[in-house]
């Protein structure tokens, strides 16, 4: 088979999403961010929403999300993405507005902004990457760090008496009247990646339909922060993260 | 431009509405002016002594007329970040607060300045530090003109001294913000916010359409057509060289602002032997003190900085060659006096008189300070 035959559109079974830029990603190999980015780029393309999308990037590893997905972006201050998104959507109600945030950003410093945006029922989607650790600053304890889990600021493992309890903020957000769809997914295998794609698409559709706030938590790995290989990270996530953060819909109205 | 010319320009544009003289509070005037000048969004959190701004907006219900969005939110941290989001879309957006709330906004203001986003922030100052008092103060001068948040940035800072100027400077603040793509601050004190005076409100301007915004602010994040690169509002550059370039661009912009936008008012200054420098409510009090001094045969004059940044350094410097001494009057422990001293550079004595913690000085006190410290 020649190269020309291989790249014949009739033989094409997979291609890079058009809205995913060629910029090499800075994410560590094995990190979940790249997969979720790809899904978002794919969905916006399939929904033909590039011209209508304004995305809000967080502070954390995904601060550079704007380099990778070919839409208009605003990079918010740490934790403030839901406030920024609120204003964008209120002033331009026909646009697709979503935030992309990690657990430190969304569940620690931005707790107030997250809860109040969700409680007001802003017509935005929140994509929440929960890897139980502060990735960008080098693996410190996050609000979501599991009991006993090691990080650079709890080197002997999180001690609930000393550090308090891990926060299941998604469960909390599902209680609020303003949220219409709250789900927890993962991207560690193909079946779950497909489910995550469907969840994000539904979140985007909800926000365009004006149904309220949608939250898609993606339980993720941080193999660098966890100090494991990508494969071991996936296994560790299934064994340890999923019992505390079980997958599935928490709310679907 | 001199203040007289600027005022004439403003008054000319108002003539069509001259029959609309109304009596209202300074805070209310800001709300009316915001709606009338085509503001797209207001985001705020209640705090005394400026809550009438949001209350008036909620009564006006501009979302039913101009389409302006008004939202009460969970904190000043959120409101300033909503302004960031709205301004990033090229929208005319604002927030208002008083001293403790504005302290909470400093993170967001630094981001807005770095992102080169135009917006209007209103601070109706009250006495501090801490929770302080709800009485008027001018002790946020340093916070306003010297930075406030982190990093090297400046805020165009307008200091109104009347209810009329609360309305006028709401319009002017937005104009300057969009002229330079930078945040503007309207720095009033509790007296100007709470007192009632007659005011001619600015004429109605329609809000800009999406097409007009795309033309005026081509950098705005409004959704990316296939024909252009994505618009990205960010304040992050991990490369120091890149960050220095951004800083140099900001500094060049500030030099332009310093060259073009200084505003001040002079009262009885022509033959003055003693100059009083004061802004806002202190200027109103000092003007009376100058009149009383003149009645006693003391040749006093008043210079009122209207833009606190850019500061009227040259104007004050020129007076240093003409007068015997300068008295700076502030409702603080003495903040602007440092900039007056920098302008004067030791050529004549620069004295200070101030009241702290929410107290407004009387004209008698100012006259007495002028006599005991300088004359």
> What does the pLDDT read at residue A108?
97
> What does the pLDDT read at residue A187?
98
B222 falls within a domain: no
Q: Are residues B35 and B156 in the same domain?
A: yes
> Cβ contacts (< 8 Å) between A83 and chain B: which residues?
73, 77-79, 81-82, 85
C-alpha span between B109 and B89 (Å, rounded): 16
Q: Are residues B38 and B113 in the same domain?
A: yes
Chain CA centroid to CA B354, Å: 20
A91–chain B Cβ distance below 8 A for any pair: yes
Apex CA A17: angle with CA A201 and CA A221, to 5°? Answer: 65
C-alpha span between A32 and A241 (Å, rounded): 14
B235 falls within a domain: no
Please answer whether residues A30 and A220 qualify as being in contact, where contact means their C-beta atoms are separated by less than 8 angstroms: no
B159 falls within a domain: yes
Q: What is the CATH number of the domain that holds B302?
A: 3.40.50.920
Please answer whether residues B276 and B289 qualify as being in contact, where contact means their C-beta atoms are separated by less than 8 angstroms: yes
- The SS3 assignment for A23 reads coil
Q: Are residues B204 and B273 in the same domain?
A: no
**Nearest-by-Cβ selection for B225 from A51, A64, A112:** A51
HSE-up (13 A, CA, CB side) for residue B70: 22
**Nearest-by-Cβ selection for B86 from A72, A87, A113:** A87
A contact test, residue of B63, B69, B81 with most A CBs within 10 A: B81
Among B194, B211, B228, give the residue marking a domain's end. Answer: B211
Separation in Å, CA of A79 to nearest CA in chain B: 10
C-alpha span between A114 and A79 (Å, rounded): 8
Q: Are residues B49 and B159 in the same domain?
A: yes
Q: Which of B321, B319, B324, B268 is nearest to B291 (CA)?
A: B268
Among B211, B232, B247, give the residue marking a domain's end. Answer: B211
Q: Do A75 and B41 touch (CB under 8 A)?
A: no
Separation in Å, CA of B114 to nearest CA in chain A: 12
- The SS3 assignment for A178 reads coil
Summarised one tens digit per residue, pLDDT across range A179-220 is 999 999 999 999 999 999 999 999 999 999 999 999 999 999
ipTM above 0.90, yes or no: yes
Q: Are residues B204 and B274 in the same domain?
A: no
Summarised one tens digit per residue, pLDDT across range B221-255 is 999 998 899 999 999 999 999 999 999 999 999 99
Q: Are residues B202 and B282 in the same domain?
A: no
Q: Do A91 and B74 touch (CB under 8 A)?
A: no
Among B174, B192, B211, give the residue marking a domain's end. Answer: B211
> Cβ contacts (< 8 Å) between B85 and chain A: which residues?
56, 74, 76, 83-88
B258 falls within a domain: no
Q: Do B81 and A92 touch (CB under 8 A)?
A: no
Residue indicated by tokens 């550059």: B237
Chain CA centroid to CA B214, Å: 27
Q: Do A74 and B93 touch (CB under 8 A)?
A: no
Q: Give every residue of chain B whose pLDDT is below 50, as ranges.
A: 1
Q: Are residues B64 and B178 in the same domain?
A: yes
Q: What is the CATH number of the domain that holds B93?
A: 3.40.50.970
Q: Do A80 and B89 touch (CB under 8 A)?
A: no
Burial class (CB in 10 A: 0-12, 13-18, 19+), A119: middle
Mean pLDDT over all residues of chain A?
A: 96
Looking at A21-68, which runs of residues are DSSP E strands? Answer: 53-57
A50–chain B Cβ distance below 8 A for any pair: yes
Burial A134-172 (b: 16+ CB within 10 A, else e): bbbeebbbbbbbbeebbbebbeeebeeeebeebbbbbeb
Q: Do B82 and A86 touch (CB under 8 A)?
A: yes
Distance of CA B67 to CAs A92, A134, B36, B38, B72, Å? 11, 41, 12, 9, 16
Q: Are residues B286 and B194 in the same domain?
A: no
B237 falls within a domain: no
B87 falls within a domain: yes
B contact test, residue of A74, A79, A108 with most B CBs within 10 A: A74
- The SS3 assignment for B239 reads coil
C-alpha span between A110 and A115 (Å, rounded): 9
B216 falls within a domain: no
Please answer whether residues A181 and A206 qualify as being in contact, where contact means their C-beta atoms are separated by less than 8 angstroms: yes
Q: Which of residues 192-251 of A touch B (CB under 8 A)?
A: none
> Cβ contacts (< 8 Å) between B225 and chain A: which residues?
51
Q: Are residues B49 and B154 in the same domain?
A: yes
Chain B residue with minimum CA distance to A74: B233
Chain B residue with minimum CA distance to A73: B232
Q: Do B86 and A88 touch (CB under 8 A)?
A: yes
Backbone angles phi, psi at A116, to 5 degrees: -75, -35
Model's pTM, two decimal places? 0.95
> What does the pLDDT read at residue B18?
58
Q: Which of residues 113-152 of A touch B (CB under 8 A)?
A: 113, 116
Tokens for B266, please give them.
Answer: 């002079």
Whether A224 shows a pLDDT value over 80: the answer reads yes
B206 falls within a domain: yes
> What does the pLDDT read at residue B296?
97
Whether A148 shows a pLDDT value over 80: the answer reads yes
C-alpha span between B42 and B276 (Å, rounded): 37
Apex CA B141: angle with CA B182 and CA B291, to 5°? Answer: 115
> What does the pLDDT read at residue B1?
47
A51–chain B Cβ distance below 8 A for any pair: yes
- The SS3 assignment for B334 reads coil
> What is the distance in angstroms between the CA of the first residue and the CA of the last residue of chain B?
32
Backbone angles phi, psi at B314, to 5 degrees: -65, -40
Helix-then-strand count for chain B, H and E: 15, 15
**Nearest-by-Cβ selection for B108 from A53, A77, A95:** A77
Summarised one tens digit per residue, pLDDT across range B84-134 is 999 999 999 999 999 999 999 999 999 999 999 999 999 999 999 999 999
- The SS3 assignment for A94 reads coil
Domain count for chain B: 2
Q: Are residues B306 and B177 in the same domain?
A: no
Q: Do A73 and B232 touch (CB under 8 A)?
A: yes
> What is the distance in angstroms between the CA of the first residue and the CA of the last residue of chain A?
51
Q: Are residues B198 and B296 in the same domain?
A: no
A57–chain B Cβ distance below 8 A for any pair: yes
Q: Are residues B272 and B199 in the same domain?
A: no
Whether A165 shows a pLDDT value over 90: the answer reads yes
Please answer whether residues A201 and A212 qualify as being in contact, where contact means their C-beta atoms are separated by less than 8 angstroms: no
Q: List, in order of start, the domains of chain A with CATH numbers.
A: 25-252 (3.40.50.970)
**Nearest-by-Cβ selection for B89 from A77, A88, A116:** A88
Separation in Å, CA of B195 to nearest CA in chain A: 32
Parent domain of B279: 264-373
Please answer whether residues B80 and B105 qualify as being in contact, where contact means their C-beta atoms are separated by less than 8 angstroms: yes
């Amino acid at each position: 088979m020649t190269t020309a035959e291989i790249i014949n559109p009739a033989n094409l079974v997979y291609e890079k999403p058009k809205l995913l830029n060629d910029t090499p990603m800075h994410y560590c190999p094995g990190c979940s961010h790249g997969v979720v980015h790809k899904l978002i780029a794919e969905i916006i393309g399939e929904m033909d929403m590039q011209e209508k999308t304004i995305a809000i990037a967080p502070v954390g590893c995904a601060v550079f999300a704007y380099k990778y997905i070919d839409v208009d972006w605003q990079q918010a201050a740490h934790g403030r993405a839901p406030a920024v998104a609120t204003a964008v959507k209120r002033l331009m109600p026909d646009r697709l507005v979503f935030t992309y945030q990690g657990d430190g950003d969304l569940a620690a410093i931005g707790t107030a902004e997250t809860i109040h945006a969700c409680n007001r029922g802003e017509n935005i989607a929140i994509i929440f990457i929960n890897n139980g650790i502060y990735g960008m600053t080098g693996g410190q304890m996050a609000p979501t760090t599991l009991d006993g889990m090691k990080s650079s600021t709890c080197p002997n493992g999180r001690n609930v008496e000393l550090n308090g309890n891990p926060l299941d903020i998604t469960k909390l957000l599902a209680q609020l009247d303003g949220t219409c769809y709250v789900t927890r997914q993962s991207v560690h295998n193909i079946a779950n990646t497909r489910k995550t794609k469907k969840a994000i698409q539904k979140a985007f559709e909800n926000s365009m339909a004006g149904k309220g706030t949608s939250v898609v938590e993606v339980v993720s790995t941080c193999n660098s922060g966890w100090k494991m290989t990508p494969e071991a990270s996936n296994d560790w996530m299934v064994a340890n993260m999923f019992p505390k953060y079980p997958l599935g819909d928490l709310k679907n109205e | 431009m001199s203040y007289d010319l600027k005022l004439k320009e403003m008054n000319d544009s108002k003539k069509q509405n001259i029959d609309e003289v109304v009596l209202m509070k300074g805070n209310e005037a800001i709300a009316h002016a915001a709606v009338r000048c085509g503001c797209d969004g207001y985001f705020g959190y209640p705090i005394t002594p400026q809550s009438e701004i949001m209350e008036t907006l909620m009564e006006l219900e501009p979302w039913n007329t101009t389409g302006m969005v008004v939202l009460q939110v969970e904190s000043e941290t959120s409101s300033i970040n909503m302004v960031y989001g709205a301004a990033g879309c090229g929208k005319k957006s604002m927030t208002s607060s008083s001293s403790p709330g504005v302290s909470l906004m400093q993170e967001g203001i630094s981001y807005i300045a770095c992102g080169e986003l135009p917006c209007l922030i209103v601070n109706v100052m009250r006495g501090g530090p801490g929770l302080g008092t709800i009485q008027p103060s001018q002790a946020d001068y340093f916070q306003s003109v010297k930075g406030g948040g982190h990093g090297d940035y400046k805020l165009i800072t307008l200091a109104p001294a009347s209810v009329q100027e609360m309305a006028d400077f709401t319009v002017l603040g937005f104009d300057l913000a969009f002229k330079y793509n930078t945040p503007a601050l309207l720095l009033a004190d509790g007296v100007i916010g709470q007192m009632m005076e007659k005011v001619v409100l600015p004429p109605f301007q329609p809000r800009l359409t999406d097409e007009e915004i795309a033309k005026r602010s081509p950098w705005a994040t409004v959704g990316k057509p296939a024909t252009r690169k994505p618009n990205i509002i960010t304040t992050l550059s991990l490369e120091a060289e890149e960050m220095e370039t951004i800083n140099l661009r900001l500094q060049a912009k500030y030099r332009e602002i310093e060259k073009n936008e200084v505003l001040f008012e002079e009262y009885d200054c022509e033959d003055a032997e003693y100059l009083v420098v004061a802004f806002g409510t202190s200027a109103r009090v000092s003007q009376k003190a100058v009149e009383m001094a003149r009645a006693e045969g003391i040749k006093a004059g008043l210079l009122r900085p209207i833009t606190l940044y850019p500061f009227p350094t040259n104007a004050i410097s020129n007076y240093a060659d003409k007068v015997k001494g300068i008295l700076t009057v502030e409702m603080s422990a003495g903040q602007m006096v440092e900039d007056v001293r920098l302008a004067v550079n030791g050529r004549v004595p620069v004295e200070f008189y101030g009241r702290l913690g929410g107290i407004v000085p009387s004209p008698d006190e100012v006259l007495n300070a002028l006599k005991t410290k300088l004359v």
